[in-house]
Copies of this chain bind each other. A is one copy, B any other.
Amino acid sequence: MGGDSAPDIVINGASQSKIRHPNLKFTFVGNKDRISSLISEFPNLQDSGIVHTNEIVSANAKPSVALRSGKNSSMALAINQVKSGLCDAVVSAGNTGALMAMCKIFLRPIDGISRPAIAAYFPTITGESCMLDLGANIDCDANNLVQFSFMGQAFANIIMGIKNPKVSLLNIGEEEQKGLDYIKEASLILSSMEDKINYTGFIEGDKIAHGYSDVIIADGFTGNVALKTAEGTATLVTTYLKKAMTSSLSSKIGYLFSRKAIKNFRQQMDPRKYNGAVFLGLNAIAVKSHGGTDAYGFANAISVAADMVEYKFISDLKEKLSKVNMLSLK
């Protein structure tokens, strides 16, 4: 029931994602009548389950309030489906803070991880990188960043299929003496673990999109600002382009000839393509969809979760983390 257009886009998106992943089976959590009536329109969702509740977590609820009073909310019951083993992953377009808080309480962080983080894909000139944390932890210390680094490395390896992912810390300069103290401290720790992680040093904001690094690590405040600023800039540039291409008769003719190319360009920039932020560091799979996305975007968030189930992400991550001995870092 979370997000701006639930449950419509959730159910429509589930149907779309099932075309790509025919083995998926869904349990929808929320108002039974609305869900049943929507499901009836999609032949491939007839095997879906429904868990009924009329309670929801509102978009602006504080996480603490959601935790206290939201035990029967669609969000809590959906997470419980995963906790109880009835489902392999939970996908929600609802309140991010509440979802993370509930996931931490119900699904628990993996041993050795003090704080789970939010990770997402970031488009680059050479392909894609992943970036974390994007807002779960606005105040971080050096060990948090180190833990994020190992979680990001595992995600890039297992899900993105990169053999020896390059991991960098987001900073305001590439030189050793630059930046905030806890980032410099994290850099020293990561540099001392070169047999366990392919740490490539600091990366500046303008280099993220170049694809020099596969995994970009930041505290949740900085990561969130960077991600959103990138989104806003992409919108700005495409707005400028649209204005330019409709500015004269000649440019309009040009647009007709390059329509297909510009459509491909738009698709490459489409934020819905990158929808689906992963909660990394929990004992189960939880994916957060953008609240304002549509069915296509929601289907992509489901795909992220489906990939993580298929590649047995959690057990593989736990195995990788056990080799690092995260507990000694705390």
The interface residues of chain B lying within 8 Å CB-to-CB of A210 are: 232, 235-236
The interface residues of chain B lying within 8 Å CB-to-CB of A322 are: none
Q: Which residue of B lies closest to A236 (CB)?
A: B209
Decide: A260 near B264, CB < 8 A? Known: A206-B229, A233-B209.
no
A37 within 8 A of B: no
The interface residues of chain B lying within 8 Å CB-to-CB of A250 are: 257-258, 260-261
Decide: A225 near B222, CB < 8 A? Known: A180-B139, A235-B206, A239-B125.
yes
Q: How far is the CB of A113 from chain B (nearest CB, A)?
A: 22
How many copies of the polypeptide does the oligomer hold? 2
The interface residues of chain B lying within 8 Å CB-to-CB of A220 are: 172
Among A228, A238, A264, max chain B CB count under 10 A is at A228
A218 to B172, CA, bound (A): 14
Tell me what chain A mostly uses at the interface: helix, strand, loop, or mixed: helix
The interface residues of chain B lying within 8 Å CB-to-CB of A221 are: 172, 179-180, 222
The interface residues of chain B lying within 8 Å CB-to-CB of A239 are: 125
A229 to B254, CA, bound (A): 31
Q: Which residue of B lies closest to A226 (CB)?
A: B229
Q: Which residue of B lies closest to A125 (CB)?
A: B239
Question: Do residues A232 and B206 form an inter-chain contact, with CB atoms below 8 A?
Answer: yes
Enumerate 9 A-B pairs (CB-CB under 8 Å) in ascending A order.
A125-B235, A135-B172, A205-B229, A209-B235, A225-B225, A226-B229, A230-B233, A241-B241, A251-B260
Which chain A residues have a beta carbon within 8 Å of chain B's beta carbons? Answer: 60, 62, 123-125, 135, 138-139, 170, 172, 175, 177, 179-180, 204-210, 218, 220-222, 224-241, 243-245, 247-248, 250-251, 253-262, 264-265, 268-269
